[in-house]
Amino acid sequence: MKIATWNVNSIKARLPNVLDWLKTAEPDVVLLQEIKTVDDGFPRLEIEALGYDCAVHGQKSYNGVAILSRRGLEDVSAGLPGDDDDPQARYLEATVGGVRVATIYLPNGNPVDTEKYPYKLSWMARLKDRAAALLADEGPVVLGGDYNVIPTDDDVHDPVAWRGDALIKPETRAAFREILWLGYTDAFRAKDPTPHRYSFWDYQGGAWQKDHGIRIDHLLLSPQAADRLAGAGIDSKPRGKEKASDHTPVWCELDDLP
């Protein structure tokens, strides 16, 4: 089972690129973030025509997440538990082929001297609680998405330039490690320890052309999923296309159960 995560930065603006990538990469499950549309505006017909079922948790103009699956969708649940008053569409879960998957668009948190950073940290605490609850079921779990977290200095072109940013602050990294320490595995790093591999390149300053990027898109695997991990990687080709998202897909492959 090939599972990918991709912040598409507006599904309508990137639809030709998304459809092209679905045809060429042939993922079984795709976890999308920042679709930037309400549920009714999601291009279901075009994506379903390629054999995918769609679960969507949208929001007008901002945020929004979706799960695409060629293996069906069961027990779909929208919203991250822990705050019933949170209006932002950033989290969606479903079961695909016996694997519980979640698509995550974690808050950016900038500027850090505003309410946005405490919201980011509180959201991460809620995510940790949900990640722990999912482990209790002792089944395969994949938590994928745009975490807006640069885990280490190996995951950023210039850590000094990013110092003080919400994506790299010690508190952010510590909260991310707390989730990992529950028993989750960073799928990409488990298969590729090469430093300075990135999943995001800013539109400004020729970042893509200079490979001045950051790695903030992650697939975290429960022990039962990590035991089945057959491969993982970053597919940078979509970032080089016209009208590309500033993120590119990150993927992993899980062996099917015998």
Beta-ladder partners of 3: 29, 252
DSSP state of 240: G
Given 146, 155, 165, 217, which residue is catalytic?
146
Given 52, 91, 105, 198, which residue is catalytic?
105
Q: Show the tokens assigned to 230.
A: 């057959």
Distance in angstroms (rounded) separating the CA atoms of residues 221 and 19 = 26
CA dihedral sign, ordered 148, 195, 253, 209: positive
Q: Where are the beta strands (DSSP E) in the chain?
A: 2-7, 29-33, 53-57, 65-69, 74-78, 91-96, 99-105, 141-146, 185-186, 217-221, 229-234, 250-254
Question: Are 24 and 52 contacting, i.e. CB atoms less than 8 angstroms apart?
Answer: no
The residue assigned the tokens 């992993």 is 252
Q: Quick check: is 146 catalytic?
A: yes
Angle, CA of 171, 226 and 30, to the nearest 5°: 80
Q: Quick check: is 255 catalytic?
A: no
Question: Are 71 and 94 contacting, i.e. CB atoms less than 8 angstroms apart?
Answer: no
Distance in angstroms (rounded) separating the CA atoms of residues 253 and 228 = 8
Residues annotated as part of the active site: 105, 146
